[in-house]
Amino acid sequence: MYKAILYISSFFLSNYIIAQTIGGATVFNFLHQPNTATLSALGGVNISSINNSVGLAFNNPALLRSSTEKKYEASFNNYFAGIKNYSFTASQHFETSATTASAGINYFNYGNITQTDAAGNILGTVNLNDFVLQIQTSKQYKDNWFYGATAKFISSNYGTYKSNGIAVDVGLCYYDSTKKMQVGFVIKNIGSQLKTYVSNVAKTELPFDVELGITKRLQKAPFQFSLTAHHLQALSILYNDTTFNANEGYNQDVSFLKKIFSHFIVASEIFIGDKIKATISYNFLRRDDLYIYQSANGLSGFNVGLSILLKKLHFHYATGFYQQNMYHQVSIGF
């Protein structure tokens, strides 16, 4: 299974990485949403955090290790406007092939909406949802290297408008246990839309992403720091509506330095004894995306989390600031 996924990854990668679009020009953008409270607390993107969370490995297959064997993680996120997000991931290690594998799903339910015809006559209700179903495998190379691949089936259902696609991720990690340092690299969403929402319409590109991250845990202090860079395939990922800015008299900062910082997420994990961990992070791009001209923007871009790490049960909570609003995400690991 591992070799099959790796071959598929290599095929897609060789034909796909040359030029990619970002932002609203892509389909299935729910793939960017974090599947666990642990990841949400880390800023929404992290591929190098040092822990044994099978939920985090959902985003980087190279984080799967023998230490994640027989671990399960379920998550629930009470998002805005009644949106519900559920996820589940389970893993297993196979000694004979020295391979760790996992399977998981990340599901978004947007609720029911009224369905009408062109004249406004009510025909009933429809349910809107997105989900990604994926399998992953990972192997160790020598003492410090881990590599893995993920195969995804993506589905989007908005009443009569339905779409699906397939994609693969490839990941690599270098872990030095003596220095308590880990570096991760992932290429995400190499694939294609199989069925478009409307027939006889050109396919839309997937939200391709190249990510690089480093995590360092201090030797003599209870702190762990992460620096993650995302969308490395493009320099500018800022949304710049020049027409709106001109009408509002807003001079948006699109300097070279701003473009560089928009790729980064910084996070700190604080270990309070052996059983409690607090997390705080800052997402530069989210801060810019949520910025409202001539309005209070609060703590937009910041995320916080709390974990209780018992022997056989891990409880994680995360929330983030979206102007004056907050979400609440809970994950339980077994």
At 324, the pLDDT band (50, 70, 90 cuts) reads confident
CB 49 within 8 Å of CB 55: no
At 7, the pLDDT band (50, 70, 90 cuts) reads very low
Contacts of 196 (CB under 8 A, 6+ apart): 163, 202, 203, 204
**Full 3-state SS string of 105-167:** EEEEEEEEEEEECCCCCEEEEEEEEEEEEEEEEEEEECCCEEEEEEEEEEEEEECCEEEEEEE
Q: Which of 111, 191, 89 is nearest to 158 (CA)?
A: 111
Q: Residue 218 above 70 pLDDT?
A: yes
Q: Is the dihedral of CA 316, 55, 182, 152 positive or negative?
A: negative
Contacts of 244 (CB under 8 A, 6+ apart): 250
pLDDT at residue 25 in the model: 81
Q: Residue 32 above 80 pLDDT?
A: yes
Identify the DSSP state of 4.
H
Dihedrals phi, psi of 177, to nearest 5 degrees: -70, -30
Cα 38 to Cα 222: distance, rounded to the nearest angstrom:
18
Of the listed ranges 38-42, 70-74, 140-144, 298-302, the one predicted with least confidence: 298-302
Contacts of 40 (CB under 8 A, 6+ apart): 34, 77, 303, 305, 318, 319, 320, 327, 329
Mean pLDDT confidence for 35-54: 95
Q: Where are the domains of the chain?
A: 2-333
Q: Residue 241 above 80 pLDDT?
A: no
Q: Tens of pLDDT along 100-109?
A: 999 999 999 9
Mean pLDDT of the chain: 89
Dihedrals phi, psi of 106, to nearest 5 degrees: -125, 115
At 24, the pLDDT band (50, 70, 90 cuts) reads low
Q: Which residues of 124-136 are buried (b: 16+ CB within 10 A; e: fewer)?
A: eeeebbbbbebbb
Of the listed ranges 65-79, 125-139, 198-212, the one predicted with least confidence: 65-79
CB 300 within 8 Å of CB 323: yes
Question: What is the pTM (predicted TM-score) of this model?
Answer: 0.89
pLDDT at residue 325 in the model: 79
3-state secondary structure of 194: strand
pLDDT at residue 121 in the model: 87
Dihedrals phi, psi of 132, to nearest 5 degrees: -125, 130
Percent of the chain whose pLDDT exceeds 90:
69
pLDDT at residue 165 in the model: 97
CATH code of the region 2-333: 2.40.160.40
How is residue 64 written in tokens? 């799967």
Q: Residue 169 above 90 pLDDT?
A: yes
pLDDT at residue 299 in the model: 87
